[in-house]
Amino acid sequence: MGTDVRLGAMDGVFTVAGVRPARDGMTISRDAGLGSENTVTFFALGAGTSISRERYDMTSMYIGALGEAVFLTGDDAGRQSFLDGDMLIVPGGTLCGVESGSGAVYTEIIIKKEINMNNLVKAGEVMKLKNLIQYEEGSISNIDIVSNPTMKFVLMAFDEGTGLQPHRAPGNAIIFALEGKAVIGYEGKDYTISAGENFRFEKNGLHSVTAAGKFKMALLLVIE
């Protein structure tokens, strides 16, 4: 199943909503096929649907892809609007549910080991990812949001004219483009990626990133 997801819908530039579109009256989930130690799933909520509140024993993380959802967190079911480009980190043992009036698509990451979390992040609070990192003149900025020996979620801001030289990652990875455009070089081919789009690297896949103007992205790396 994971191989079909990897080599089909996520071949080249894609969107999470394109891989797993919402259907009226249904909630649907699809394994992203990144690994087994950390579970990455695409969720699509049709208009007027919801997922009942439940508790995970481990930390869960959510990345908005399309539409608007409302997350209900904590014993008091506090309501928070959740849009594309938003992030929510929910500590283990916390009640959490989600609903959508108009339909929404998002990525869920279940992190099965203890994490290191950046002090910029407030667990349980919806945050706009691109606002957590700023551009530095002539430079590439990098912030580790959460990490442990089996995964890393990183924000990067590329000033105009900057980029990463071809290199190989130690695990499967997905880029979430947050602002601007860039050219992704992957195994000898170039792909243009824009805000709201995604790109997947296979473990040890040769890749590069070249900003086309200013560019912000998030990178989810699963090391297994």
pLDDT digits (tens, 9 = 90+) for 27-77: 999 999 998 889 999 999 999 999 999 999 999 999 999 999 999 999 999
The answer, as to whether pTM is greater than 0.85, is yes
- Compute the distance between CA of residue 210 and CA of residue 94 in angstroms, rounded to an integer: 40
Mean pLDDT of the chain: 94
pLDDT in tens, 133-188: 999 999 999 999 999 999 999 999 999 999 999 999 899 999 999 999 999 999 99
Cα 78 to Cα 57, 206, 214, distances in angstroms: 20, 44, 36
Handedness of CA 41, 63, 124, 156 (dihedral sign): positive
pLDDT classification of 6: cutoffs 50, 70, 90? very low
Segments of the chain assigned E as strands: 27-31, 38-45, 49-55, 59-67, 69-73, 78-82, 86-90, 95-100, 104-111, 116-117, 127-128, 140-148, 151-158, 163-168, 172-186, 189-194, 198-201, 206-222
Please check the confidence at residue 110 and state whether its pLDDT lies above 70.
Answer: yes
Answer yes or no: are the C-beta atoms of 172 and 34 closer than 8 Å: yes
Q: What does the pLDDT read at residue 4?
A: 39
What domains appear along the chain, each with residue ranges and CATH number?
A: 2-128 (2.60.120.10), 130-222 (2.60.120.10)
Average confidence (pLDDT) over 10-30:
94
Q: Categorize the per-residue pLDDT at 9 as very low, low, confident or very high, splitting at 50, 70 and 90.
A: confident
Q: Looking at residue 5, what is its pLDDT?
A: 41
How far does Cα 88 stand from its chain's mean position? 11
